[in-house]
Amino acid sequence: MSLLRYATTAFCVAIAVATLCFAALQVVPGDPAMRIAEAKFGADGMSFRTADELREAAGLNEPVIRQYASWIARTLTGDFGVSLVSGQAVLPLVAERLQLTLLVGLVGIAVTIIISVPLGVAAGLRPNGWLDHSVSALSTLLASAPAFLVAILLVSLFAVNLQWLPVAGLRSPQGIVLPALTLGFIHCPELSRVVRNSVARTGQSFFVTFARLKGRSWSRIALGHALRPALLPVVAYLGVLVTGVVEGFVVIETVFNLPGIGKLLVDALIARDLPVVLGAVTIIGLGIVAVHAMTELLANLVDPRTVDSQASTTS
Amino acid sequence: MTTGSYIAFHGKPQLPAKFWPGVGIAVILGLIAALGPVFIGDENAQNLSLAFQAPSRSYWLGTDHLGRSVLARVIKGAATSLGLAVVAVAATALAGTVLGALSAWCRGWTNTLIMGLANTLLACPTILFVLLVAGLFGNGTWSVLIGICIAKWPAFARLSYIVTRSELIADHVEASRLLGFRTPYILAKHILPGVAPQITSTAALSLASTILTISAVGFLGIGIAPPTAEWGAMVADAIGYFPDAPYAVFGPACAIFLATLSATLIGESLASPTSTSGRS
């Protein structure tokens, strides 16, 4: 049931994103064909004749409603057209760039989880203890640092001073280490806070007090009673985390000059490469919906009670 | 979603200790943004023979690759970056609160439409909207403003919707209606006091993330057009020369950090009711 609902949502999101982008691109001031010509041949090499040819080739002189219909039809069959600048097909281009982004994103999320879950649990077990206060202070500081500042500091430490890792680019596999670390670090404050609050709240619940009154050992309470209820908000939070990661990699890929989907999107926006922008945004949107569907399924596994009350607990 | 603020739980406002440092930084930054431009000269004045100076008596924060004073540009940038962030958050908070309250008040189709849209937009990253709008309509203040508004109103709408809905079925609102008070009076007298504290704390936290978003967009070169001094764009200009001339990076980067820290501290102290419940 949940899967069907998400499939519908994904379908609607795809249509909505496509429509929104299409509508927005229609009202942009300026002639897209001229911009493409400029992007392709430079301001000096372009002429009205090349612009006319490009317009013909991209179908930009057809009626708007027909362009829209053909765009939607093609989107639904997974065909996003060809890049107006390089002439490559959009879907393979996006897919190729997506691999790197997924790799960096997954490693980044792993870094976030490895750092913030233990810290959050430790802080939540003793609310208002010294560890809680230090983790909270560190979180506030880190949450206030822009992603590029974290990147700069990591680069200057590991790449410039210690020279363990490359500064930027992807000439060797080590190139993804610093981007992934940056991505992981900037999301630690949020996740550790969610974990800490969840653990602290569970620790105050009656069943934990009761288990303590029964004389259960501290570790048995933590693992046997408190872990599962404390996990639930954390699992539900992973969807939000992924949205944040999307926000992060657009900047981070630019800082480290990684050819991922974020860099692709920024470059395409600057060149006004219409099909690439639409394709990349649609794919990112679908990815976010997919992740939210997966976190909901995961949340149902951790806590079957949520299956009945999805409307009130999710989103 | 946590409901209730510290004030609502305890009657008497007892703000955490971190509130005052936050306010202190905010006041200082506000004064710098408002009065600073009076004391500095032309922030775009170039002097290539003085490029990449370390901090000195005449250039307190050093100079950048064009020999411009980093301090002057940071001060000038404060007005741009902070002003834009404050306007964006104020507009967003207002729009979101009104739409959320409207949604709870009207119910039915209006509710389905507004909250459905809000829930869909809520899942999308802010920067995508800003990039989209800026990419479509060109770089500039307005594009950043509109992109942030599209992305951020849902958070306020949801909050306002939840609080308004629970207030509407409360006994004192029912009584007020039975006594014959008009809708605007009930909204101002009973609904607004319930919504306001939470909107305030969310707005402060939203201000923090908005400052970061604006600087990120400026950094990507898609926000406010050069040579206008903007903190994110300043970092982007200086980052190419980073290992040799770190001063031009650290000035604006620290300014972004301090502004965000101040908003975060204020937002967190308004939001945290007890040690166990966190922000939504």
Q: What is the mean pLDDT of chain A?
A: 76
B104 HSE (CA, 13 A, CB side): 22
Q: Are residues A202 and A154 in the same domain?
A: yes
Q: Are residues A222 and A305 in the same domain?
A: yes
Whether A180 is covered by a domain: the verdict is yes
Distance from CA of A6 to the nearest CA of B (A): 12
pLDDT 10s digits, A219-245? 888 777 777 777 777 887 887 788 778
Show residues of chain B in contact with A255, CB under 8 Å. Answer: 239
Residues in chain B: 280
Minimum Cα–Cα distance from B212: chain A residue: A146
Minimum Cα–Cα distance from A161: chain B residue: B243
pLDDT 10s digits, B180-195? 888 788 888 888 887 8
Q: Is the distance from CB of B15 to CB of B204 less than 8 angstroms?
A: no
Token code pair at residue A40: 């392709």
- In sign, the C-alpha dihedral spanning A143, A145, A147, A153 is negative
- pLDDT exceeds 60 at position B3: no
DSSP calls for A62-109: S-HHHHHHHHHHHHHTT---B-TTT--BHHHHHHHHHHHHHHHHHHHH
pLDDT 10s digits, B68-92? 777 778 888 888 888 888 999 999 9
Q: Are residues A113 and A241 in the same domain?
A: yes
Whether B73 is covered by a domain: the verdict is no
Mean local confidence (pLDDT), B17-36: 82
Q: Are residues A227 and A283 in the same domain?
A: yes
d(CA A46, CA A41): 6
Hey, what's the torsion of the CAs at B204, B209, B211, B214, to 10 degrees? Answer: -140
- Provide the pLDDT for residue A267: 82
Distance from CA of B262 to the nearest CA of A (A): 9
Of A21, A48, A76, which marks where a domain is finished? Answer: A76
d(CA B237, CA B231): 10
Whether A82 is covered by a domain: the verdict is no
CA angle A288, B203, A202 (to 5 degrees): 65
- In sign, the C-alpha dihedral spanning B233, B234, B238, B243 is negative
Q: Is B228 exposed, middle or buried (0-12, 13-18, 19+ CB in 10 A)?
A: middle
Distance from CA of B27 to the nearest CA of A (A): 17
Token code pair at residue B128: 């995508």
Q: Is the distance from CB of A55 to CB of A61 less than 8 angstroms?
A: yes
Whether A86 is covered by a domain: the verdict is no
CB contact under 8 A, B215 and A146: yes
Q: Are residues A124 and A72 in the same domain?
A: no
d(CA A51, CA A48): 5
Of A50, A76, A102, which marks where a domain is finished? Answer: A76
Q: Which domain holds residue B109?
A: 91-271
Could you say which DSSP state residue A120 is in?
A: H
Distance from CA of B238 to the nearest CA of A (A): 11
Number of domains in chain B: 1
For residue A22, give the amino acid letter.
Answer: F
Q: Which domain holds residue A23?
A: 3-76
Number of domains in chain A: 2
Show residues of chain B in contact with A285, CB under 8 Å. Answer: 124
Show residues of chain B in contact with A141, CB under 8 Å. Answer: 261
d(CA A222, CA A156): 40
Whether B1 is covered by a domain: the verdict is no
CB contact under 8 A, A25 and B136: yes
pTM: 0.79
Q: Are residues A72 and A101 in the same domain?
A: no
Q: Are residues A248 and A288 in the same domain?
A: yes
d(CA B111, CA B117): 10
- Provide the pLDDT for residue A302: 74
Mean local confidence (pLDDT), A300-306: 72
- Provide the pLDDT for residue A38: 63
Place of tokens 């599962």: A228
Show residues of chain B in contact with A143, CB under 8 Å. Answer: 208, 260, 264
Show residues of chain B in contact with A251, CB under 8 Å. Answer: 127, 216, 219-220
CATH number of the domain that A292 lies in? 1.10.3720.10
Place of tokens 């790449």: A159
Across A66-80, A158-172, B12-26, B112-126, least confident range: A158-172
Q: Are residues A180 and A254 in the same domain?
A: yes
Show residues of chain A in contact with B134, CB under 8 Å. Answer: 269
- pLDDT exceeds 80 at position B9: no
- Provide the pLDDT for residue A32: 63
Q: Are residues A257 and A108 in the same domain?
A: yes
Q: Are residues A271 and A170 in the same domain?
A: yes
Q: Is the distance from CB of A246 to CB of A288 less than 8 angstroms?
A: yes
For residue A279, give the amino acid letter.
Answer: G
Q: Binning pLDDT at 50, 70 and 90, where does residue A102 land?
A: confident
For chains A and B, what is the number of CB pairs under 8 angstroms?
Answer: 127
Interface residue of B159, B166, B212 to substitute, partner A, most A CBs within 10 Å: B212
Q: Are residues A233 and A281 in the same domain?
A: yes
Whether A142 is covered by a domain: the verdict is yes
Of A16, A44, A76, which marks where a domain is finished? Answer: A76
Distance from CA of A58 to the nearest CA of B (A): 18
Higher pLDDT: A305 or B232? It is B232
Whether B259 is covered by a domain: the verdict is yes
Q: Which of B242, B246, B275 sits opposite A128 (nearest CB)?
A: B275
Whether B232 is covered by a domain: the verdict is yes
Residues 6+ apart with CB under 8 A from A14: A75, A76, A282, A285, A286
Distance from CA of B123 to the nearest CA of A (A): 7
Show residues of chain A in contact with B123, CB under 8 Å. Answer: 239, 243, 288-289, 292, 315
Q: Are residues A140 and A239 in the same domain?
A: yes
Whether A16 is covered by a domain: the verdict is yes
* Cα-trace Rg, chain A: 24
Q: Is the distance from CB of A123 to CB of A131 less than 8 angstroms?
A: yes
- Contacts of range B46-50, beta carbons closer than 8 Å, 24 or more positions apart: none
Higher pLDDT: B243 or A216? It is A216
SS3 B224: coil
Whether B55 is covered by a domain: the verdict is no
Alpha helices in chain B (DSSP H): 6-10, 19-39, 70-106, 108-122, 126-137, 141-168, 171-178, 183-186, 192-220, 231-239, 247-271
CATH number of the domain that B263 lies in? 1.10.3720.10
pLDDT 10s digits, B236-253? 777 777 767 777 788 888
